[in-house]
Structure 1
Amino acid sequence: MSMLMCPVCRQALTLDGKTWRCEQAHNYDVAKQGYVNLHVVQHKHSKNPGDTPESVQARREFLNSGFYQPLQQAVVELIQQLEVKNLLDIGCGEGYYTSAMQAVVEQCVGVDIAKTAVQRAAKLNPEVTWVVGTGATLPVLDGSVDLCSSLFSPIPQAEILRVLKPEGYFLVVTPAPQHLYAMREALFEQVNPHVPDKFVEQLQENFELMAQPVVENHFTLDQTQLKNLIAMTPYAYKAKPERRTALENQANFSLTASFQIYLFQKKAVI
């Protein structure tokens, strides 16, 4: 069963050869890289939305070095325990986490607004249905999803509620308070701890919190790895250039990554 929805008329999309079609005769070709673009012109606010190609490349190189593998593993194990059949990963980026999640479900859809990221993701794992689309209007059918995930990505709550099945799950990963603290200390004069529990407050009306594990990993980066990490974070453009340069000149830098995982379940509508 396809989970995809036509972004124009909201009918179900069916894959016919290399083209997704709906009953209203709208059709969307699968690109040669293996993804489909369902981000229609009327939903666009800029010509090339999402992460820059440089940021995507930096993230790919950093994640391939394995520093965030403990998080990837923890997420996959949690999904495996839930025994869900399908999942939708919102803000899938270049696919590092999505591709690993696909191994423990029957059907996996990864959506991101950044075309350059989805193009890279599609080369990583052809078993995932990779989609260029927007969280503002997820190109997914009402009540079709067992599990939605958002790892370091926006949370379009109304859309998530729409696409989730009754009692479906929502998995959020966000920085824990001390995440990359030493790096932020080097980049900014004042460092405010991350506040992950704001998401619990935002979601408590419609979702019940089921689990909230924290995953930590300590590592030392060489200069190239450190530059990639800085480039893939929002800190890259928020920090003063001279502070960023001083940090990038470090030969070795020790850090702790600290991730807050939240597992929610959609509350029954009374």
Structure 2
Amino acid sequence: QTLICQKMRELLAKNESVADSVANSAIEPITKKDSKAINWLDIGCGEGYYTQAMAQTGMDTLIAADISKPAVVELAKASKVAGRLWYQQVKDSVTNATAKSAVIYPLVTSAAHLPLRAHSIKGISSIFSPILPDAFNEVLAADGYLIIAKPDIGHLATMREALFDNVREHDSDKFLHELAPYFTLMGTEHVSTEMTLSAADLADLMTMTPYAYRALNEKRQALLAAVETESFTTQAKFVVYILQKTAAE
């Protein structure tokens, strides 16, 4: 999710179903039912497109972490404009201003080696980002939550069919068995958005996917040439998983 292509972000923003699902359907119910201060960690935050939506769900502290320093710098800039950076919130508290969103702490770090105190985090979100069961279990509180978003079955199907002779379907939940020792699946939500793309938008979309190097060059060029005369339609499909840390026996 590092340095998301600006054009594709604008296309997805026209239908904010993924951000809405993560923030409103998955995270907000958690923050509303817990009266204690909530510390949240957004892993692989990139430029912070989803982070900014999460910041408005009622949590207190939001640590936005990514291994890419340029991506985190962009997130920090956007957070500053929104008045959500940690030092801005501290300044507001001195003047008795009411904070309208979470305090955001940008953090450049590897998800495998988080510089956080054990069991100090109420929730973790991994939106199209790494899933590391041991690392997540270490920093999550005993009743902590894990929110994961992944491509769903049928994601970008028409594009994949145009690029490959044999299309392998997304195995969205293959990681669940790795999480089973630590987490219990509480629910899922499927979201989708239809995108009508110009040749330039389609080229941008391909650069965001593994298809940019997995598909044969002649297949990519043939698809882009076809779209020069007629727009291309495909569906982005995602699934959001809501898990809770299993109580130790």
Name the TM-score class by shorter chain. 0.7 to 0.9
Distance 1:124 1:82, change over 3 A: same
Q: CA deviation at 1:68?
A: 5.3
Distance 1:256 1:207, change over 3 A: same
Secondary structure at 1:268 match in 2 = coil
Q: CA deviation at 1:144?
A: 0.9
C-alpha separation in 1, matches of 2:178 and 2:121: 21
- Where does residue 81 of structure 1 map in the other structure? 29
Say which of 193, 196, 200 aligns to 2:172: 196
Secondary structure at 1:237 match in 2 = helix
1:63 aligns with 2:9: yes
C-alpha separation in 2, matches of 1:201 and 1:190: 27
TM-score (normalised: structure 1)? 0.76
- 1:7-18 matches, within 5 Å, as none
Could you list the runs of 5+ residues in structure 2 that have no partner in the other structure? 85-103
Distance 1:205 1:80, change over 3 A: same
Are the counterparts in 2 of residues 110 and 130 from structure 1 also a CA contact under 8 Å? yes
- Where does residue 46 of structure 2 map in the other structure? 93
Are the counterparts in 2 of residues 67 and 219 from structure 1 also a CA contact under 8 Å? no
Q: Which structure carries more relative contact order (alpha carbon 8 Å, separation 6+)?
A: 2
C-alpha separation in 1, matches of 2:213 and 2:71: 19
Which residue identity lines up with residue 115 of structure 1 in the other structure?
Answer: K
- Where does residue 235 of structure 1 map in the other structure? 211
Are the counterparts in 1 of residues 42 and 124 from structure 2 also a CA contact under 8 Å? yes
Say which of 222, 227, 238 aligns to 2:198: 222
- 1:90-169 matches, within 5 Å, as 90-104=43-57, 105-126=59-80, 127=84, 128-169=104-145
- Where does residue 256 of structure 1 map in the other structure? 235
The answer to which structure has the higher helix fraction is: 2
Which residue identity lines up with residue 53 of structure 2 in the other structure?
Answer: A
Secondary structure at 1:125 match in 2 = helix
C-alpha separation in 1, matches of 2:152 and 2:79: 29
Q: CA deviation at 1:175?
A: 0.7
Are the counterparts in 2 of residues 67 and 217 from structure 1 also a CA contact under 8 Å? no
1:183 aligns with 2:137: no
Root mean square deviation, CA, Å: 1.7
C-alpha separation in 2, matches of 1:200 and 1:206: 10
C-alpha separation in 1, matches of 2:248 and 2:77: 40
Secondary structure at 1:154 match in 2 = coil
Q: 1:156-204 CA distances to partner (integer Å, 9 max, x unpaired)? A: 1111000100010000100111111111112222111101121222212
- Where does residue 33 of structure 1 map in the other structure? none
Are the counterparts in 2 of residues 88 and 110 from structure 1 also a CA contact under 8 Å? yes
